[in-house]
Amino acid sequence: MFDKVLVANRGEIALRVIRACREMGVRTVAVYSEADAHAPHVREADEAILIGPAPSRESYLKGDAIIAAALRTGAQAIHPGYGFLSEREWFARAVRDAGLVFIGPPAEAIAAVGSKTAARSLAISAGTPVVPGTTSALRDADEAADVAAQFGYPVLLKAAAGGGGKGMRIVHRREELADALAAAKREAKSSFGDDAVYVEKYIVGPRHVEIQLLGDTHGTMLHLGERECSVQRRHQKMIEEAPSVAVTPELRARMGAAAVAAARAAGYVNAGTCEFLLDAGGDFYFLEMNTRIQVEHPVTELVTGVDLVQWQLRIAAGEALPFHQEDLDPSGWAMECRITSEDPANNFLPSTGRVQYLHVPSGPGIRWDGGIETGSEISLFYDPMLAKLIVWAPTRAAAIARMHRALLELTIEGVDTSRDFHLRVMEDAEFRSGDISIQWLERRLASLLSVQPPREAVLRAAIAAALLAERERSGPQRARRGAESSAVTSTTSPWLQAARLDAIQ
């Protein structure tokens, strides 16, 4: 195993990797931007190196500075986390060329599936079903129209280099194609520096179901079952769970085998994910392969008991996987809510500011993978994901109840967050029934957000009553002090937390 690993990331995933390393006795080097000088990942690592100013392109995307930091500190390997440099072929290659280990797949495998069109060709060659569409970039709108005529509208224009739902346009009619193609190309160029756009049939009503893979350097490639990530807004995941209500053991085996075949065709090693759309008839279509650890990896960890990040390190160090496919059946139910600094009531507008108070849920079955603490500054420089709240329970219904309970315990003061949105989803009858698709949230969002549930009203009344009682008890002097700081105390003091829970139970 390595003695020292450099973690080329920030926020919750940097902490996640640091924790994995610490449990394995591996020392860590954090890198950070000027904006992150006081960030938790900097403090938790054994060493930390400043690499540049706040903007990512001057810090977390500076591959040369990061490699130099690894060499200077004597780290033997670099873990890229997700986002930033994690799926850049040139970075994986540069790390290797510097005599270091890239904790991820070989640069060649990243290249083989890095563009969605290349990945589609590869999946087809491996016999994995793909969404109908092209496997090369479109020349013009006429070509797109010819393809669309074969399988009918709506179609989806997608950036070959795409990610994060960017560079996508749904087209319902021939007349809309030219403008949509121009817009998708512009967005692809500005987001990814590559304006290649291709076309797929737009599938209505499927689920997003993805398969987690682990492959070692000794020829073993296993799948760890599925994650369902259908709760999406603007093609971005918000809630993930494992397993999926729509996947039987037989379907899991078929999807797993298809994912393993695609990964083998790519020469894949380490942790990766094959994403699929699954329709109501049980047919599934390959979307893309992600060549890194995913945001939603904890739900797989909780149902399989496999620490994916530790295995990323072990595989990179040459260890062989000791499991067999039949050891990896999921047990119980896990669910994850992405806690972002966005205001659901205001069209998910990003919110900035200082975290004035943070109370993290705890108790049975709760996992908090967070990158913030009281005092953290939330800026617009980085992704709005502050933390992931993850729960495990024996059944889906119990996991939902547990997530609801945990969300009620969660208090973040100082920035708007997605907490209340997640509460509304956990209370929603359709979500609870499991009858959802990737279009579910867009359809349901307005009514979800307009709900002022009676429980919340009861809660507010209980908090107000408790606050009043406390003021009366503490007399005029303390009451005045209480009033001065009421902006913070009204929802954050521990006894008010307790009042919240009493009101709900």
Q: Catalytic residues, which ones?
A: 292
Of 202 and 311, which CB lies nearer to ligand ADP in the complex structure? 202
Q: Are 278 and 246 in contact (CB under 8 A)?
A: yes
CB of 200 to ligand ADP, least distance (A): 4
How many residues are recorded in the chain? 505
Of 320, 317, 319, the closest CA to residue 101 belongs to 317
Q: How far is the CB of 441 from ligand ADP (least distance, A)?
A: 10
| Identity of the residue, 55 or 165, whose beta carbon is nearer to ligand ADP in the bound complex | 165
The rounded distance, in Å, linking the Cα atoms of 283 and 130 is 10
Three-class HEC string of 14-61:
HHHHHHHHHHCCCEEEEEEEHHHCCCHHHHHCCEEEEEECCCHHHCCC
CB of 7 to ligand ADP, least distance (A): 24
Query: Least distance in Å: CB of 162 to ligand ADP?
Result: 4
Between 40 and 81, whose beta carbon lies closer to ligand ADP? 81
Q: Which is nearer to ligand ADP, 36 or 228 (CB)?
A: 228
CA distance 390 to 288: 25
Residue 325 near residue 375, CB atoms below 8 Å:
no
Between 68 and 126, CB nearer to ligand ADP:
126
Per-residue HEC secondary structure of 245-263 comes to: CCCCHHHHHHHHHHHHHHH
Find where tokens 């930033």 sit.
84
CA distance 160 to 185: 10
Distances (CA, A) of 70 to 25, 45, 96, 100, 331: 18, 13, 12, 8, 39
Give contact residues for ligand ADP (rule: CB under 6 A). Answer: 131, 156, 162-166, 200-203, 208, 232, 235, 275, 287-288, 438
Q: Record the tokens describing residue 135, joined without a space.
A: 């496997």
